[in-house]
Structure 1
Amino acid sequence: MTISPALPTVEAAESEPERPGARRRRPFSVRRFTGRLTRADRDVLWLYVLTRAGLWGTEYCARWLFPADGDSRHPAAVLAPWQQWDWAYYLHIARDGYFPAGAPGPGQVGWDNREAFFPGFPLVLRAVHTVIGDWTAAGLTVSFAAGAVAVVALGRIAGLDQPGAGAPRRTAALFLLSPCAVFLAAGYTESLFLALALPAWLAARREEWARAAVLACLACTVRVSGLFLVAALVVQLLVAVRRPRDLRPLAWLALPALPPLLYSAYLHSRTGDWLAWKDAEDRGWARQFHSPWSAWHHTWTAAFGHTQGTGYAVMFQAELVGMAAGTVLLVFLLVRRRWAEGVYVGLSLWALGTSYWYMSIPRAALLWWPLWTSLCAATAVRPRLRTAYFAVAGPLGTVLALAFFTGRWAG
């Protein structure tokens, strides 16, 4: 994809006389900072803004239609619907740290297992909070800015796979209107991770390995999924090798191992456990290893065995659909010999599919960029498939957004 050069400043500024020896000052211009965006990028960003507005409209309706007290005459606070589930962990880490004084320790009664969450997002949240005083608004700002970067990068990846003006916009629409898209707007890690991972993959596609390694390194501070990205980058490099000296960038790809090692060392210094983050996942979210068939069985029982409340059961049903969709995607990638992307999706499925039961697979599908680019290619030649997708995904996305905004488990 070509990148247009930066646009010149306004002519009036160029015609202004300068004093001898004075440093020329260029006036502020938004166009100076948007000149590198292509028309396809701007189309993608316009769609991004519109879908954010749609989510805020849904949030407004949720506050008025579903108050916590059915007899209330006043809606919840404006930002209250965004303060759900994992947001509390990120807030507590950013505000109080991993081991606040006076709190119980890991494994003790009352401990919230917050060390399961990597420090990248809380650190960014804390930095933004120095400018934006409200914590929730700061988190939403991080996700909004990061989501814009992510969706532009996704559109550019689609443009590499399918040259043409329509691919970036179509891929962005499939992605932004997907059932779990609400998590891209919430103060969660998905947008920030994608804002680093997708440009890293884009850099790898262009064989800019140093840039890819640095971005992947930052992605590894946000989610453990960054390690799956690193594995994909290594495979992509090996596939691209044409002569032995092309392997030299492998040294760069050792860089992303640094954040997980440093985080593990920090946790070890406080708990004596090098895998404290993994043990926290085991305690809090039943992430202990189980065979894939056991995990499927436990999830099926939770979904259809009437052992869970209906709100949780339907989400376990969604987990089963997510695993089935991910498996189909993995087979498709391997058949097409898209080895690097197959490694990324395969490792994600393995990690999510070998716990006691499936959890957060539909949400994790947001991170599977090959899913969105593959859907883009399929819907380009089958317009009815595109119509069917939006007819199903649109209502599901609204239902999941309402579930999230009203405090129900939504993945």
Structure 2
Amino acid sequence: MTTTLPTAEQSASSPAHRAPTRDPGPVRNPTGAPEQRRLLDRLTPTDLRVLRLYLFTRLGLWLVAYCAAWLSPAGSDARTPAPWLSRWEQWDWVHYQHIAQYGYFDPFPGIDPASDNRAAFFPGFPLLLRTVHTLITDWAVAGLLISLVSGAVAVVALARIAGLGRPDSARAGRRATGFLLLSPAAVFLAAGYTESLFLAFALPAWLAAKNRNWPVAGVLAALATTTRISGLFLAAAITVECLLARADRRGRRRWRSLPWCALPAVPATAYTVYLHANTGDWTAWKHAQERGWHRDFHTPAEAFRNTWRNAFDHLQTTGYAWEFQLELAAMAVGVLLLFFLLLRRRWPEAVYIGLSLWALGTSYWYLSIPRATLLWWPLWTGLAHWSLRRTWVKEAYVGVVAPLTVVLAVTFTSGHWTG
């Protein structure tokens, strides 16, 4: 099942719009060059520029990891830098690798059953990691490769979303991807984490929904759900988009398309059944989240107070307190974004952001919200459109916000992300 993702540049650069030339006859090339050429023909000049920026920012983050290996080796008196790949083997990556190696319930050396919270992670990324590992034996390299390829798909889709229906689509697309790739938490798009893979499914799913291709939107959103619970929030947004879409002349399109919008519930349900079959607990995923990360339910006011106290009341070491301050800042950005979407009556995107904020803002304290901002595509497209109307927005972002990208990248690759 395929879909065409049209852009203004794509139609202008397609072979159908070129001047007629003499047919040279069939091209015979056993190396597969015609297939590669067709793939490149589907990429617009904007896509290629976006991918070039993506590659340069990947090189920059890899350079940061190299510097962190020298600046923060194991031991204060070390004479040898830490291995470069070890800079990416941090925190959640360890869980993904263990799931890929041992599954969800088989024991492995050093694991304490009381702290085994592997069930908190959806299976999509570990399954793909296990598959890629059959070709690439180093687990860390396999994880980095997944994120590298997934991120390339994601930035192209984001650029096309930003350019939908705009005469300045090329500039809007480049701006949106630039804001994303220079966002403070961008290091997680390069690491062996789920953000890039989720976006590689979620953004094309949203693009398909905007083009009224509901089967493709449903299938891609289901794949997104295999990686993160946020796929269900995406499914809700696609459902609202479907309900708001114009029906065909006989009024049947929206109702016939709704089953596709429900498809993302299938992988979430299947994972729940799998966990129940092995634990006897229908809420095993939720309980793993509670044990490992204090994601039990609290009111938004309680979550805000607990986060504020840990950020500013000197209850934590400075490293942890600074991270709680980042959580508060990211939540403030999310609330402002939701207000803007509601003001502009962009109901589907508002549903997606609202559900995300509710899930993140009703734990004991805020956790992982800076990472979650990477998944808020309305934020990056909105900033892009705003910056095209107000030139100072881009200047302020590059001057004030983008430097935090390096700070957080160093924090992650040096092993100081959690305190």
Same fold (TM over 0.5): yes
Cα distance in 1 between the residues matched to 2:166 and 2:385 = 7
- Describe how 1:184-223 pairs up with structure 2 within 5 A: 184-223=189-228
Q: Tell me, yes or no, if the aligned pair for 1:400 and 1:410 is still in contact at 8 Å.
A: no
- Structure 1 equivalent of residue 100 of structure 2: 94
Cα distance in 2 between the residues matched to 1:111 and 1:410 = 17
Q: Tell me, yes or no, if the aligned pair for 1:84 and 1:407 is still in contact at 8 Å.
A: yes
The residue matched to 1:408 in structure 2 has which SS?
coil
Q: 2:76 aligns with which of 70, 75, 81?
A: 70
- Structure 2 equivalent of residue 57 of structure 1: 63
Cα 1:183–1:104 change in 2 (3 A) is: closer
The residue matched to 2:136 in structure 1 has which SS?
coil
- Structure 2 equivalent of residue 231 of structure 1: 236
Cα distance in 2 between the residues matched to 1:47 and 1:304 = 37
- Structure 1 equivalent of residue 128 of structure 2: 124
Structure 2 residue 249 is the aligned partner of structure 1 residue 245: no
Deviation at 1:25, TM superposition (A): 5.4
Aligned-pair RMSD on alpha carbons? Answer: 2.1
| Structure 2: runs of 5 or more not aligned | 1-6
Name whichever of 230-239 and 29-38 sits farther off: 29-38
- TM-score, reference length from structure 1: 0.93
Cα 1:102–1:173 change in 2 (3 A) is: closer
Cα distance in 2 between the residues matched to 1:313 and 1:302 = 6
Residue 115 of structure 1 aligns to which amino acid in structure 2? A
Q: Tell me, yes or no, if the aligned pair for 1:162 and 1:377 is still in contact at 8 Å.
A: no
Deviation at 1:408, TM superposition (A): 1.3
Structure 2 residue 409 is the aligned partner of structure 1 residue 405: no
Q: 2:340 aligns with which of 285, 310, 332?
A: 332
The residue matched to 2:320 in structure 1 has which SS?
helix
- Structure 2 equivalent of residue 20 of structure 1: none
- Structure 2 equivalent of residue 389 of structure 1: 397
Cα distance in 1 between the residues matched to 2:50 and 2:29 = 32
Deviation at 1:390, TM superposition (A): 0.9
Cα 1:266–1:6 change in 2 (3 A) is: farther
- Structure 2 equivalent of residue 349 of structure 1: 357
Size of the alignment, in residue pairs?
400
Deviation at 1:385, TM superposition (A): 1.6
- Structure 1 equivalent of residue 3 of structure 2: none
Residue 162 of structure 2 aligns to which amino acid in structure 1? A
Residue 336 of structure 1 aligns to which amino acid in structure 2? R
The residue matched to 2:406 in structure 1 has which SS?
helix
Deviation at 1:27, TM superposition (A): 3.7
Deviations 1:161-204 (A, max 9, x none): 53322111111110100000000000000000000000000000
Structure 2 residue 301 is the aligned partner of structure 1 residue 297: no
- Describe how 1:95-174 pairs up with structure 2 within 5 A: 95-101=101-107, 109-164=113-168, 165-174=170-179
Deviation at 1:409, TM superposition (A): 1.9
Cα distance in 1 between the residues matched to 2:15 and 2:102 = 43
Deviation at 1:93, TM superposition (A): 0.2
Cα distance in 2 between the residues matched to 1:6 and 1:286 = 55
- Describe how 1:370-389 pairs up with structure 2 within 5 A: 370-389=378-397
Cα 1:410–1:399 change in 2 (3 A) is: farther
Cα distance in 1 between the residues matched to 2:291 and 2:370 = 22
Cα distance in 1 between the residues matched to 2:247 and 2:277 = 44
Deviation at 1:228, TM superposition (A): 0.1
- TM-score, reference length from structure 2: 0.91
Q: Tell me, yes or no, if the aligned pair for 2:115 and 2:292 is still in contact at 8 Å.
A: no
